[in-house]
Amino acid sequence: MTDRELVSMAEEAMSAAYAPYSGFKVGAALAPHNAKGEIRVFTGCNIENASYSPTICAERAAAAEAVKNGFTHFETIAVCGGKDGRIEDFCPPCGVCRQVLCEFGTDDAVLILWDGKKTYRCTFGEMLPLSFRKNKLL
């Protein structure tokens, strides 16, 4: 799967965003593998809430769906978004999502951002250096 194909899935997911308060719509497409090495794409969109704090980001929506289905080895995720669904700049994951992604992805996993014209690629290690990892607890 190419970066652009994954970005297209993120764009499609963005169209389902529920963002009546901020108008900022985000889509994510996550391509993890399971214990058998099978890769499947899970997508998510942001879902806002009238009381704000229950709002969930697109990245965590996709992550929850992947983990629920046993795909707990995150390798690549594409994220895009913008006000009223207009993609005009990169939309990097928030700090909470970075921490969640790093729970299931190694430092070598890849984040792809899309600004409507070009992609930006970095590793999870670059996305969240010095992240707090499960090996600290296990």
59 has catalytic annotation: yes
Q: Give the residue closest to Zn ion by C-beta.
A: 57
Return the residue of 7, 97, 112, 128 that touches Zn ion, per CB under 5 A. Answer: 97
Partners of 27 in beta bridges: 45, 80
In the complex with Zn ion, the residue whose CB is nearer, 9 or 100, is 100
Q: How far is the CB of 96 from Zn ion (least distance, A)?
A: 5
Return the residue of 39, 49, 69, 94 that touches Zn ion, per CB under 5 A. Answer: 94
Angle, helices 3-14 vs 58-68, to 10°: value is 110
Partners of 122 in beta bridges: 111
Return the residue of 45, 57, 63, 101 that touches Zn ion, per CB under 5 A. Answer: 57
Residue 80 as a binder of Zn ion (CB under 5 A): the answer is no
Those residues with Cβ within 8 angstroms of residue 78's Cβ, 6 or more apart along the chain or in another chain: 3, 6, 7, 9, 10, 28, 29, 112, 113, 114
Q: What are phi and psi of 24, to 5 degrees?
A: -90, 110
Q: How far is the CB of 22 from Zn ion (least distance, A)?
A: 13
Q: How far is the CB of 60 from Zn ion (least distance, A)?
A: 6
Q: Which tokens go with 67?
A: 């983990």
Residues that bind Zn ion (CB under 5 A): 57, 94, 97
Positions annotated as catalytic residues are 59
